[in-house]
Structure 1
């Protein structure tokens, strides 16, 4: 994927948070901004076909509790931070 330069206006407080996150993760501020743009582009994408038909379902293996979701998100976040640190180091 090629990169194209663009200019955006951002809230000063957001830029401060980005600067802090970049320093903490050992990546550039630009990488944080690019990832944010990419995530929002994917999150707002409209697909031509539904992921599942009305007849299809996913078996998640039973009820999923809020503690299970919290543990999964925490684990994924920690893993992402470790990977970012390895890329920087």
Structure 2
């Protein structure tokens, strides 16, 4: 991965939160900022294909709880990420 330098203006309160998180996690502040940039970029990405295809359905067998839905979506996303990493290699 090639990193490029850029300048970003941020509020003091956000920078303080980043500093606290970096200290708590034992990582550089820049790492927290890069992760934030990556997450927001993915959140606004226009995907070329649907998140779930017609073959990928979630049959949970009836009424489900919120945590069951969250688990199913998380596992489905993790599986798709594993497949995507396999294609990129």
The runs of 5 or more residues in structure 1 that have no matched partner are: 73-89
The runs of 5 or more residues in structure 2 that have no matched partner are: 72-89
Of structures 1 and 2, the one with the larger relative CO (CA 8 A, separation 6+) is 1
- Between the aligned partners of 1:55 and 1:30, the Cα distance in structure 2 is 40
TM-score, normalised with respect to structure 2: 0.64
- Between the aligned partners of 1:2 and 1:61, the Cα distance in structure 2 is 46
| Structure 2 partner of 1:76 | none
Q: Give CA deviations for 1:35-82 in whole Å, capped at 9, x if unaligned.
A: 0000111111111221234675223465133xx37xx7xxxxxxxxxx
- Between the aligned partners of 1:61 and 1:16, the Cα distance in structure 2 is 46
Superposition misfits of 4+ residues, deviation over 6 angstroms: none
Q: How many residues align?
A: 68
